[in-house]
Amino acid sequence: MTSYKDKIQISVAGEELSASIVTNDIANNFFAHRRSGRMALFLFGLIFLAGIVAFITKAMDGFDSSQRANWGYFAALFAFLLSAAGSAPLVAVGFRMTANHWRRPFARISEIYAVVGLLTIVCLMPLLALLPPIGDCSSGPCRKTLWFTSEYWGVPTFWDFAGLLALVVCGIALLLVSALPDIAQISALSESKSRPLLSKLTKFWTGTQSQWHIHRISLSLLGGFYFILLIGVQTIINVDYVMSLVPGWKDSILPAHQALTGIQAGVASVVIVAFIARTFGGYKKYFPMESFWSISKILLALSLLWAYFWFAEVNTLWYGRMPVEQNILKLVMFESYRLPFALNFSMNFLLPFFILLWNPIRKSVIGPTVASILIVVGSFFMMVRLYVPAFGIQDVTAFQITYVPAAIYPDFLDLIMIAGGISGAVFIYLLSTRIIPILSLWEVKEGLLYQRVRPFLRGEYQVLGKPK
């Protein structure tokens, strides 16, 4: 006899999904790794290995602060991974607070990006050696920086590393706490799938009311800490590796602008993976068009907010008209790096704005996906136009830059490192999905409890309840 809960429907197409069907669908995809997935894992792993070889080859030519100009594109790669992958878990954190239904398929996709933080830690380590010392301002020229003095131990390298390490640890803890109920439930099937390790790791989880209460509180606390750490880390990284390397650059909006760009790229990265999971992963019925339609409104708002922050950033320098401010604008926007700036401005604001402005395009799956791809690419070029020129400045103790340096173009090894770094992030993400389901089982099943299909006149319509 079919119980009442087994008739709960989730799909707008009217397909009936019970809790047992959801468990079987996600568990089967979790255990059955397709050949295409293994091939993608091998391909991205191979490109990642090539990027490591390119890094080692380039490092053999010299690796110290005097060779800083050769590593600008590597710094841009690090900043891009930190912004896009590091900000993606905020999608789950922020949307959980709104208690909406459409965010449920995106939650686990965004949380798995926290594992990519391990790669950003590895990328930061060599950059710490390239950061020039602050110096003693009382005895001679020194580098202007966020920190008051270099007398305190570890300033600024220790605090940059400690901040990023805390961010990554908090993100992985958020992922593990969120995935604990799913792994515990899937462990019931692990014996037949030769995965007894799952049951050993989750044997303490029994799903009692007190455990669920602690689970929700833990997610809220970890989410709050992650948000605070992300904004703080983005700020000190931007100040130490961009503005403090360009003499005379004073801008209180730029760190916030980079953090906002990261949030925009994080949401876009989640949409791209959701499209891939929907199209090629066998999860089409769990990603209705309404979910893409809803998150596209967030993308549109973030694109407008990006333009506002850019205008506020450039407005002060433009109307100040001081020689150093004019040189900075020419350097990162209008002369030396005008092509990366044009791509950044077009892909983070103009093109997504005009794509998502139209409801027929926004109310689709492909429209938000195309806008998301543009945003991710544009975010990378923003890091190029910021970090590459900053690393190209040699005299970091000068009072201000008195000329506009020429653009530094990437060489072959730079291109291989960029491809390898991005492929490494994809490789780590794909590897993580072989351990943790890409869909949040408990959140999807929780959504079933708030959904019914009821007859009205001559049709049947989906009725949604409010969680609170």
The CA–CA distances, whole Å, from 112 to 132, 327, 444 equal 34, 41, 16
Tokens of 436: 């943790």
Q: Which residues pair with 74 in a beta bridge?
A: none
The CA–CA distances, whole Å, from 202 to 24, 109, 213, 262, 432 equal 19, 21, 17, 34, 17
Task: Please say whether the beta carbons of 20 and 460 come within 8 A.
Answer: no
Domain definitions of the chain by residue range: 5-464
pTM of the model: 0.91
Q: Which residue has the tokens 């990519």?
A: 116
Task: Please say whether the beta carbons of 13 and 462 come within 8 A.
Answer: no
Beta strands in 219-293 (DSSP E): none
Tens of each residue's pLDDT in the chain, 468 residues: 333 343 444 444 445 566 777 777 777 666 556 677 789 999 999 999 999 999 999 999 877 777 899 999 999 999 999 999 999 999 999 998 887 888 899 999 999 999 999 999 999 999 998 988 886 666 667 788 887 765 567 788 899 999 999 999 999 999 999 999 988 888 766 554 445 555 666 778 888 899 999 999 999 999 999 999 999 999 999 999 999 999 999 899 999 999 999 999 999 999 999 999 999 888 888 898 989 999 999 999 999 999 999 999 999 888 888 999 999 999 999 999 999 999 999 999 999 999 999 999 999 999 999 999 999 999 999 999 999 999 999 888 888 898 899 999 999 999 999 999 999 999 999 999 888 889 988 888 888 888 777 788 888 777 777 766
Euclidean distance between CA atoms 45 and 42, whole angstroms: 5
Task: Please say whether the beta carbons of 102 and 464 come within 8 A.
Answer: no
Tokens of 224: 């709050």
Task: Give the per-residue pLDDT at 460.
Answer: 77
Enter the DSSP assignment of 66.
G
Task: Give the per-residue pLDDT at 149.
Answer: 64
